[in-house]
Structure 1
Amino acid sequence: MTATLDLLTTRRSVPPLLLDGPGPDRAQLETILTVASRVPDHGKLAPWRFIVIADAARERVGDIIATTFAADNPDARPERLAQERGRLMHAPLTVAVVSRTGPHVKIPEWEQLLSVGAATMNLVVAANASGFATSWLTEWYAYDRRVLDALGLAPSEKLAGFVHIGRAREVPSDRPRPSLSEIVTYL
């Protein structure tokens, strides 16, 4: 089996709580983001963009998340607010993948969404191939317009997810995967 197939058949998400530093340096990150953008893209629309959240930005975004949560949950306990504030503090770096799909005369939005998903998966695989562990997550704040506005998303943009990148303290055991007989039809 080639190294690429080995990576693809064994890759595993690692929860952010199990991620530590160091994360990718600038050159590694630029390689990862370059690979992420090399996906099928009918019409060359690049219907995605990336927001890198590292260093002090993790705390700033954590404050945005906690403040938004507190506004909706005024009786939230301090421990819960601390949990919300710390959402992006486990991995040394998080990349928010922004979907900027929209109506196009020739390219259906569905195809644009598939391209965004492919870019996100390429980001994950490129980080894994570079020796990092990842976790692609969407939590409540990925859908909250106040958080999206604070992150600089346009009203027409959505978040495909947060990709947390770091070094695994431990790798969880694999989860059950569907058997091919459940997901493949031969005609």
Structure 2
Amino acid sequence: MDAVTALTRRVSVAKLQEPGPSDEQLSQLIGAAVRAADHGLLRPWRFLLVQEESRNRLGEVFCEAVLADSATVSESVQQKFRNMPLRAPCLMVVIASIQEHPKVPRQEQIISAGAAAQNIINAAYALGLGAMWRTGDMAYHPRVLKALGLKPHEELVGYIYLGTPVNQPGEPKAVDVAPLLQHWTNK
């Protein structure tokens, strides 16, 4: 698949199943991630791989976080949080690892980590994998961030769920791009 086709045809895939990405595919995904725009070549990102039994442990962390906020959460809601990481055979946690730099502000480094995440989901599509970038409360909860080992200078950019699509991904909806591009003149 050529790059433009991958970029213009990619769709998120919510229903994923085994198999997850192979080791070779994971290397290709990270290889794509590190090609993200990166002012100063700081590589302000890192990635955590959550597979197999680690998905259950992450679900327990999610449940513990919800219970820390409200001890009266029903068992069905607790189970929902436990099951979140089980939506795919593999999760990749994308973390912005911000560095002090006189010319590269924090915001640019977070954007670069987001570009790395986007490269991962684009590469996944090109490789025939399904991918879904998710955030939500569990991407920002202090208990979750601590359990994942984030440092004070780091932010979780998202969880990328990876696997084999349960169904053939649908066609992307057409978007009229003409109104999105404007010509600027300084008059």
Both proteins in one fold, TM over 0.5: yes
Give the Å deviation of 1:29.
0.7
- Partners of 1:100 and 1:65 lie apart in 2 by 22
- Stretch of structure 1 that moved more, 48-57 or 110-119: 110-119
Is 1:90–2:87 an aligned residue pair?
yes
Please tell me whether the aligned partners of residues 19 and 169 of structure 1 are also in contact (alpha carbons under 8 angstroms): yes
- Partners of 1:39 and 1:54 lie apart in 2 by 24
- Partners of 1:47 and 1:180 lie apart in 2 by 31
Is 1:150–2:176 an aligned residue pair?
no
What is the aligned partner in structure 1 of residue 110 from structure 2? 113
Give the Å deviation of 1:102.
4.0
SS at match of 2:128: coil
Give the Å deviation of 1:104.
1.3
**TM-score with structure 2 length normalisation?**
0.91
**TM-score with structure 1 length normalisation?**
0.91
What is the aligned partner in structure 2 of residue 6 from structure 1? 5
Q: Structure 1 runs of 4+ off > 4 angstroms?
A: 171-178
Count of residues paired in the alignment: 184
Alignment of 1:122-133 (within 5 A): 122-133=119-130
What is the aligned partner in structure 2 of residue 135 from structure 1? 132
1:115-157 Cα shifts (integer Å, max 9, x gaps): 1111111111111111101000101010011100000100221
- Stretch of structure 1 that moved more, 92-101 or 74-83: 74-83
Q: Which amino acid aligns with 1:4?
A: A
Query: Percent identity at matched positions?
Result: 33
- Partners of 2:75 and 2:169 lie apart in 1 by 29
Is 1:38–2:35 an aligned residue pair?
yes
Match of 1:163 among 160, 163, 167: 160
Please tell me whether the aligned partners of residues 10 and 172 of structure 2 are also in contact (alpha carbons under 8 angstroms): no
SS at match of 2:86: coil
What is the aligned partner in structure 2 of residue 179 from structure 1? 176
Mark the CA change 1:102 to 1:58 in structure 2 (over 3 Å): closer, same or farther: same
| RMSD after superposition | 1.7
- Partners of 1:46 and 1:172 lie apart in 2 by 32
SS at match of 2:161: strand
Q: Which amino acid aligns with 2:25?
A: Q
- Partners of 1:111 and 1:140 lie apart in 2 by 23
Where do 5+ consecutive residues of structure 2 fail to align? none
Where do 5+ consecutive residues of structure 1 fail to align? none
Is 1:79–2:76 an aligned residue pair?
yes
- Partners of 2:22 and 2:115 lie apart in 1 by 23
SS at match of 2:87: coil
Is 1:64–2:67 an aligned residue pair?
no
Mark the CA change 1:177 to 1:142 in structure 2 (over 3 Å): closer, same or farther: farther
